[in-house]
Amino acid sequence: MLLDLTEKGVKEAVKVGASYVDVRAELSKGTMIRRSNDIFDQTSKGVMNGVGIRVLADGAWGFSSTVIMTGEAVAEAAKNAVRSARAVSSSLKDKTEIEATAPVKDSVKTGFNQNLSSVEIARKMQVTTELVKAARNQDPRIISASSIYMDGSGRWAIATSDGTSIEMAASRILFSITAVARSSERLVSAREFDGTRQGFESFEKIDLKSFGRKASQRAISLLNARPAPSGRYTVVMDPKLSGTFVHEAVGHACEADLIVSGESILQDMLGKKIGSDLVTICDDPTLENGWGSYKYDDEGVRATKRILVEKGKLMEYICNKETSAKLGVPSNGGARGESYAARPIVRMSNTYISPGGHSVEELFDKVESGIYAKGTRGGQVDTSKGTFQFSAEEAYLIEKGRLTVPLLDVSLSGMTLETLENIEAIGKDIKYHAGFCGKAYQSVPAGDGAPHILARNVVVGGRP
């Protein structure tokens, strides 16, 4: 039924003058549970559905979406989209062109066994209960703990005027725990977050107890932490934080929409050296079981692995149909929309930096005096200037290769090109993590991966 609606949308839009159309439809269910201490603050289930139609008419884009899942509503949306495109076209000097792609017919199911909507709500609530219990059973200084369980599963369909029609079934679960600790002079908090694209059976393998304990142990250790110093330091980042660094400092600047609009520091840099020889960075939507993996993007293009940086040299951008036409390269399937209701834009999938040859101990041995920063609270980048900022969950002073004093709330910042040059050693312990990435008011799941990394001359922000 979803595919019928999308194909109907394509037909209707072509009928009223679209030269290209892609239509996406969704029918999904979700669960949201939040538990704080002894209380379930939120426990809710919902049904989501809708259709989004994007057209190219007279060389301009138009988009329209509706929540009404009928042929008439879809036909009306198709007309709206074409009318909008014509309004844009009337004054557009540089007409929009896109790369034509070969048609695909496929049906894709990601690797889940137990359908999430068939799992009783009580079992999902149990996940949050276990997390809170594990976090609270630690220490009387833990004064509060909150946990979240969220899932979504359903079916999606995409059809394009190139003749592509694809159906997808997928599911996603995320869960987190926040522990708050207090001493006479200080309030601190620590959070752990993870996600999976597999089904509810994942919890057979996930140790919720140690996950919850990790958050509270970290909160307790922060009670004795010292405010971070500020200035330029040699920094060792753990895999989670290195992953955020790669995502913010390099991944965003490789998004081709920012390249063609002149809003990336990496414009006109293909084939040029942008960092140390040690640095190889990929964005790979085909990564098995990756949090940000997908087989086809939201333009129906088969996604491929992109080697963004190889041994310090910039090799490839992440492209959609429009930017690949503009840059004269094939699309690598980088178009993603937050939902059927959002225009697909260029996004990352799983971005990672390839492991190097060092053990973690060797990295620390290289540091006479510096900072070890762990965990991530996310970050942000201004790609035009290449200025980025990102924050750690936990940090320590490194003195003569040893971790000494725990530090509070360390944030790091830098300039993309300088920092890539200042990477001095890369560990061999790569790990992947789940996250979300925001751009143009859209949030999509994006994974990242990295080993421990040693970088010199990084700006560390602290407080007096």
Partner 1 sequence: MYDLLDYAVRFAEQNGTSQAEAFFADSRSLSALIERKEVRSVDSKFDAGIGVRVLIKKREENFLGSAFTMDSKRSGIETMVNEAISIALAKPAQKDLKSFNDSKKVQNVENLFDRRISSVEPTEACTLAKDMIESASVSEKIMSISGDILFMSYKTAVKNSLGVEAGYSSTIFRASCYVTTKNETSIGSAGDDHSSRILDEERAIEVSRHSASMALSQLDPKRIEGGVMDLVIGPDAMASLLENTFAMMIRADQIQRNQSPYVGKIGTPVASEPITIIDEGRHPGAVGSKPYDDEGYPTQTTTVAEKGILGSFLYDVSSASKEGRQSTGNALRPSSGDSVSKYAAEPLVSYTNLTVATGTESFDSIVSSVKSGIYVREIIGAHTANRITGEFSVSPLVAYKIEKGEIKHAVKETMIGGNIQNVLRNVTAVGKHSKQCQGTFVDTAIISPVLKIENISVSA
Residues 180-239 that bind partner 1 (CB under 8 A): 180, 182, 187-189, 228, 230-231
According to CB under 8 A, which residues from 356 to 395 bind partner 1?
A: 377-382, 384-385, 387-391
For residues 132-171, which are near partner 1 according to CB under 8 A?
Answer: 143-144, 146
Report, in Å, the least distance between residue 390 CB and partner 1: 7
What's the burial of 147, exposed, middle or buried (CB within 10 Å: 0-12/13-18/19+)?
buried
Q: Does 62 bind partner 1 (CB under 8 A)?
A: yes
Minimum distance from residue 286 beta carbon to partner 1 (Å): 29
Interface residue with partner 1 among 15, 41, 137, 402 (CB under 8 A) is: 41
Nearest to partner 1 of 19, 230 (CB atom): 230
Binders of partner 1 in range 421-450 (CB under 8 A): 441-442
Quick one: CA torsion of 266, 271, 277, 281, rounded to 10 degrees? 60
DSSP states of 289-304: T-TT--SB-TTSPBP-
Bridge partners of 155?
Answer: 27, 169
Tokens of 240: 């989670």
Nearer to partner 1, 108 or 187 (CB): 187
- Where does this chain touch partner 1 (CB under 8 A) — which range of 131-139, 149-157, 282-290, 403-411? 403-411
Closer to partner 1 by CB, 102 or 122: give it.
122
DSSP collapsed to 3 states, 331-384: CCCCEECCCCCCCCEECCCEEEECCCCECHHHHHHCCCEEEEEECCCCEEEECC
In the window 81-120, what residues touch partner 1 (CB under 8 A)? Answer: 81, 83-85, 87-88, 90-94, 96, 120
**Closer to partner 1 at the Cβ: 6 or 147?**
147
> From the list 140, 204, 271, 463, which residue makes contact with partner 1 (rule: CB under 8 A)?
463
Closest among 438, 374, 335 to 222, alpha carbons compared: 374
| Contact assessment for residue 328 and residue 259, using Cβ atoms and an 8 Å cutoff | no
Other residues' Cβ atoms within 10 Å of the Cβ of residue 224: 12
User: Which residue from 14, 104, 125, 270 is in contact with partner 1, where contact means CB under 8 A?
Assistant: 125
What are 208's two structure tokens?
């919720």
